[in-house]
């Protein structure tokens, strides 16, 4: 057995490993690497110390994605029924990611597992979905009755506020009347619903939509405001609020509501359509996908494929995914391998490794190879340098597979996420967004 080395040492990059072409196997026995540079100290915090709080009340994870395990709860809070739901990703900067990419290269070199590298494969654009899981499109995992409410301790929580029996009957009658083309009858039923069940936010939202369609803008605005006041977490309420802001000429407020809607559900089509209407630009948002794939072979062997034609940084991310998922010597990993605690930490760890590789001055690890810039890595680098790598991980890697997670953000986290969306998802401000 080889001696287990300290994986947090930031050793010199094995450039030969990254320059290799074709399919090569990283041997279990390797010569000792050079000692770390004195100027490169270990990270101040390990990945395990970046605690992430997983909210209660989410739907069960799909069985066909066994790797999608969520993080453990903070030790300061137990997941009791009705506990305040909250998820937090800390702000990360260069001190957090510097040298992290080398950690997983080091693991691959000293590991008893054979990592077979294919550095120039023909991979489809969605190759990483085989690792991360499929992207869910609206309305998958939508919770239309979800609202925020205050618990007995005065903290916010997310609950599903179902209608009363009378309210449910009136809602059904309104839907039937609307489908039959009896708009006035549908509005009467919705007005009765709002009186019978004033706390049921979908009733207010349905009435707001119906009033706007009927040209009753004052009544529609009032119903929309009531839906907001009742804590609705349906992204449509903010899209409707954006429409009213546009009608009044307040484009900045409209942008704020659209970023709020998108913070509740990535790629929400109604919000994207309104962005296109305002800006004249098609916003076909897609989550970040990686030019890499990991395939477990027989026992003790893993195939790691990464498109290094533009940058070797994709190999760093692929090796992070390969080692954290399939490494046989789990003691080598830089965070605890607990079944309820690895998902968010793993994705943040691999994002940190990618940011380290994307910002590295080493030619084979930067944002370009062979002189061709990689736009995805340039974007990752800009986001990382601005301190929003945690939001990128949450919004473009995890939430597209588990969108209901976004309902449980704290207000501070949601505000940061809206800044991320405003800067890196919505079109630039100049032009028709200005008042």
Collect all residues with Cβ–Cβ distance below 8 Å to 412 and sequence separation of at least 6: none
Q: Copy the structure tokens of residue 358.
A: 């994307």
CA pair distance 135, 397, nearest whole angstrom? 9
> 114 pairs with which residues across the strands?
301
Model's pTM, two decimal places? 0.76
pLDDT band at 392 (very low <50, low <70, confident <90, very high): very high
Per-state percent for the chain, helix, strand, coil, to nearest 5: 45, 10, 45
pLDDT of residue 372: 64
Token pair listed for 117:
């590298």
> Does 401 score more than 70 pLDDT?
yes
Q: What would the mean pLDDT of 357-361 be, rounded to a whole number? A: 77
In angstroms, the CA 71 to CA 341 distance is 4
Residue-level pLDDT at 340: 45
- pLDDT score for 49: 30
pLDDT of residue 376: 87
pLDDT of residue 429: 53
Tell me, what's the pLDDT at 286?
86
Per-residue model confidence (pLDDT) at position 293? 92
Query: Of 1-10, 91-100, 101-110, 127-136, which range is least confident?
Result: 1-10
- At 337 the pLDDT is 56
- pLDDT value at position 320? 93
32 pLDDT higher than 50: no
The helix/strand count (H/E) of the chain reads as: 16, 8
Give residue 297's Cα distance to chain centre: 29
Structure confidence at residue 198 (pLDDT): 94
Of residues 355 and 370, the one with the higher pLDDT is 355
Contacts of 154 (CB under 8 A, 6+ apart): none
The pLDDT of residue 336 is 67
End-to-end Cα, the chain, rounded Å: 68
Tell me the per-residue pLDDT of 86-123, one tens digit each, with 9 for 90 and over.
Answer: 566 667 777 777 888 888 989 999 999 999 999 877 88
More confident residue, 153 or 23: 153
In the chain, % of residues over pLDDT 70: 73
Q: Which of 13-27, 177-191, 210-224, 259-273 has the lowest average pLDDT?
A: 13-27
Residues 254-264 have a mean pLDDT of 94
Instruction: Work out the average pLDDT over 73-89.
Output: 39
Least reliable range by pLDDT among 40-54, 184-198, 225-239, 274-288: 40-54
Alpha-carbon distance of 172 to 213, in angstroms, equals 19
Return the H-helix or E-strand segment holding 147.
strand 146-150
Residue 173: CB partners within 8 Å, gap ≥ 6? 189
d(CA 252, CA 418): 13
What is the chain's mean pLDDT, rounded? 75
CA distances from 120 to 1, 17, 369 (A): 32, 13, 13
pLDDT tens-digit map of 283-321:
778 888 888 999 999 888 999 999 887 788 889 999 999
- Report the pLDDT value the prediction gives residue 90, as an integer from 0 to 100: 67
In this prediction, residue 2 carries a pLDDT of 18
Q: State what percent of residues in the chain have pLDDT above 90.
A: 40
Taking residues 384-400, report their average pLDDT. Answer: 92
């Amino acid at each position: 057995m080889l001696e287990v080395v300290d994986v947090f040492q930031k050793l010199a990059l094995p450039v030969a490993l990254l320059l290799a072409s074709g399919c090569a196997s990283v041997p279990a026995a390797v010569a000792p690497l050079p000692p770390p540079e004195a100027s490169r100290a270990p990270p101040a915090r390990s990945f395990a110390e970046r605690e992430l709080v997983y909210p209660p009340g989410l739907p069960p994870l799909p069985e066909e994605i066994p790797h999608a395990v969520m993080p453990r709860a903070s030790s300061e809070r137990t997941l009791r029924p009705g506990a305040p739901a909250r998820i937090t990703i800390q702000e990360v900067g260069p001190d957090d990611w510097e040298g992290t990419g080398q950690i997983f290269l080091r693991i691959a070199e000293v590991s008893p597992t054979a990592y077979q590298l294919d550095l120039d494969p023909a991979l489809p654009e969605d190759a990483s979905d085989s690792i991360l899981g499929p992207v869910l499109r609206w309305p998958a995992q939508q919770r239309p009755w979800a609202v925020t409410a205050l618990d007995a301790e005065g903290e916010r929580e997310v609950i599903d506020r179902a209608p009363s029996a009378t309210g449910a009957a009136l809602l059904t009658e309104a839907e039937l009347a609307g489908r039959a083309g009896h708009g006035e009858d549908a509005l009467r039923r919705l007005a009765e619903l709002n009186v019978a069940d004033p706390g049921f936010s979908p009733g207010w939202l349905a009435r707001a939509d119906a009033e706007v369609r009927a040209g009753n803008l004052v009544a529609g605005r009032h119903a929309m405001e009531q839906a907001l006041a009742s804590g609705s977490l349906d992204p449509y309420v903010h899209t409707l609020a954006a429409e009213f802001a546009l009608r009044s000429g307040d484009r900045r407020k409209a942008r704020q509501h659209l970023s709020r809607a998108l913070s509740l559900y990535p790629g929400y089509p109604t919000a994207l359509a309104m962005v296109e209407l305002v800006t004249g630009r098609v916003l076909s948002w897609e989550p970040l996908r990686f030019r890499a794939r990991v395939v477990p072979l027989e026992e003790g062997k893993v195939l790691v494929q990464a498109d290094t034609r533009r940058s070797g940084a994709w190999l760093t991310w692929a090796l992070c995914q390969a080692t954290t998922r399939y490494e046989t010597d789990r003691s080598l990993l830089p965070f605890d391998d607990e079944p309820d605690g690895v998902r968010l930490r793993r994705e943040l760890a691999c994002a940190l490794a990618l940011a380290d590789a994307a910002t590295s001055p080493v030619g084979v690890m930067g944002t370009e190879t062979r002189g061709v810039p990689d736009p995805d890595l340039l974007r990752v680098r800009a986001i990382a340098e601005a301190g929003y790598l945690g939001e990128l991980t949450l919004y473009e890697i995890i939430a597209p597979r588990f969108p209901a997670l976004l309902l449980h953000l704290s207000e501070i986290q949601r505000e940061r996420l809206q800044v991320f969306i405003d800067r890196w998802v919505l079109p630039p401000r100049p032009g028709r967004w200005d008042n």
